[in-house]
Amino acid sequence: MRSVRNDSLTMRKPIDPGLSVYFDAVRFLAALIVVLHHVWPLIMPNLPIPWPGHEAVVVFFVLSGYVIAYAASDPTVSLRTYAEHRTARILSVAIPALLLAAAVAPFAAGPDIQYAGDVRMGAEQFWIASVINGLFLGQSLGMNISPPLNEPFWSLCYEVWYYVIFGAWMYSSKRWRIALTVLALAVAGLKIVMLLPVWLLGVWLYHRMPVLTQRQARILFAVSALAAFAFFWTGTSQAIRSLMQAASPDFINSLKASNRFAGDMILGVFVAANFAAVASLGSSMRPLIGLKRQVGYASSFTLSAYLYHMPLTVLIWNGMDVHDPMGFLAILASLTIALGYATERRVKLARRTFRKLLDIRVFKNTQTT
C-alpha cells in the first residue's frame, strides 16, 4: 500500500521563536514536576507538597500534539521519515529504561516505593511486563500493565499510540485511511482514546493558531495560567471524577489513568490557551529567547528524566541505601544526566541506525522479489 499524505493537514507554518523556547522551558519544568511528584513523598515525608504530576502529563500531551502536527506538516516528510523520527526518539530512551529496570532489579529488595510498582516481581512476570511495554501495549486492549520499577511509563504507551493514530490518518491512502485509523484506535483501547482529545488540542492549535494583539495575549496568558493553577489547587478535576464515579463507578474505575478525562480536557484547554497567548507575545518573549541555548540544553534531558527516574530511585533508595534528600537528589540528577548523554542526546545516531536497518530490510526484500 502506497502512503499518501492527507493534504488537509499539510499547510506548513513556522513555530514562533518565543513559543519554541517556551515549549522547551515548559517541557523541562513539566518533567521536573513529574520527578518531584514521584520522589518527594519518599525523601521529604514531613514536608508534603502537592506537586501536579498528573497535570504535567496533560501539558506534555497538548505540547506533543502541537509539535507532531508541526513536524508532519512539512511537505518533505513521508511516512518513512515520520516513522524514523518517532521511533528513534522513543526507542532511544524507552528500551534503555526497560533494560535499566532489569539491571536495577537485583538491588531492588527493600521497602516498597510508591510509583515503582512491585519491587518483588517474579522473573517470569518481570520479563512479560517488560516485553509488553517494549511493544507499548501495557495500557492497550483493556490491560493495565506497568513495566518493572517504572509505573510512569504508562503515559509513553499513550503517546506512542497517538503517534500511530495520527500517522494512520495522515499518511494512509484515501481508500484505507478510515479503516486503518479505526484499527489503530481499536488496538490502542478505550483508556488511551479517552485522552486522545487532549492530545488533539495541540494538533488543532497548530492549525488554528489565533493572532492576538499584545494586550490580548498578555491578558490571555495571565488568565489561562491562573485558571490552570486554580483548577489544580482546588481539586476540581478530582471533584468532577468523583461525580462521574458516583454515577458510573465500574466504568470510571476501569479507565485507570484516564479516569479524570473530563477534567484533563478542561485543563488541556487552559494549556492550549496559554500556548496561543505566548505565540502572540512577540517582543515580550525576548528575555526567554536570549536563554534559548540553556533552555534547549536542559530540555534535551526531558525524556531521560521522565523514564529513568523511578528505576534510579529504586537503585538509590533501596540498593545504595541513600536516604538523605540532598544526597539522593544529587545522585539521581547525576545518573539521569549520564544516561541522557548516552541515550536521549544520541537520538540522531539512533535515527541513522534505524534508517540503515530499514534500508537493509528494503534491500533484502527487493533481492528476493
Alpha-carbon span 312 to 292, nearest angstrom: 29
DSSP 234: T
Assess contact for 11 and 73: CB atoms under 8 A. yes
- pLDDT tens for the chain, 369 residues long, are 445 566 555 566 888 899 999 999 999 999 999 999 999 999 999 999 999 999 999 999 999 999 999 999 988 889 989 999 999 999 999 999 999 999 999 999 889 999 999 888 899 999 999 999 999 999 998 899 999 999 999 999 999 999 999 999 999 999 999 999 999 999 999 999 999 999 999 999 999 999 999 999 999 999 999 999 999 999 999 999 999 999 999 999 999 999 999 999 999 999 999 999 999 998 889 999 999 999 999 999 999 999 999 999 999 999 999 999 999 999 999 999 999 999 999 887 777 777 777 675 544 544 444
Count of helices and strands (H, E) across the chain: 17, 0
| pLDDT attached to residue 368 | 42
**What is the per-residue pLDDT for 7?**
56
* pTM, 2 dp: 0.93
Q: Which of 192, 96, 104, 97 is nearest to 144 (CA)?
A: 192
CA distances from 112 to 63, 118, 121, 308 (A): 33, 7, 11, 18
Does any domain span residue 136? yes
Which range of residues forms the domain containing residue 111?
Answer: 7-360
Q: Where are the beta strands (DSSP E) in the chain?
A: none
- Number of domains present in the structure of the chain: 1
Other residues' Cβ atoms within 10 Å of the Cβ of residue 229: 13
Distance CA 313, CA 113 (A): 9
Q: Output the pLDDT for position 369.
A: 40
Does 366 fall in a domain?
A: no
144 closest CA partner among 163, 158, 123, 124: 158
Half-sphere exposure (CA, 13 Å, Cβ side) for 119? 21
> Residue 366: what pLDDT?
41
Is 213 within a domain? yes
pLDDT at 172: 92
Q: How far apart are CA 140 and CA 331, in angstroms?
A: 34
Closest CA to 196 of 84, 58, 82, 69: 58
**pLDDT value at position 4?**
54
Q: Is residue 334 part of a domain?
A: yes
Give the chain's length: 369
Assess if residue 365 is contained within a domain. Answer: no
Tell me the CA end-to-end span of the chain in Å, nearest whole number. 16
250-to-54, 145, 339 alpha-carbon distances in Å? 22, 19, 41
What's the CA gap between 102 and 270, in Å, rounded?
A: 39
User: Is residue 68 domain-resident?
Assistant: yes
Tell me whether residue 315 is in a domain.
yes
Does a structural domain hold residue 79?
A: yes
Long-range contacts of 331-338 (CB under 8 A, 24+ apart): 332/35, 332/39, 335/308, 336/301, 336/304, 336/305, 336/308, 336/309, 336/312, 337/301, 337/304
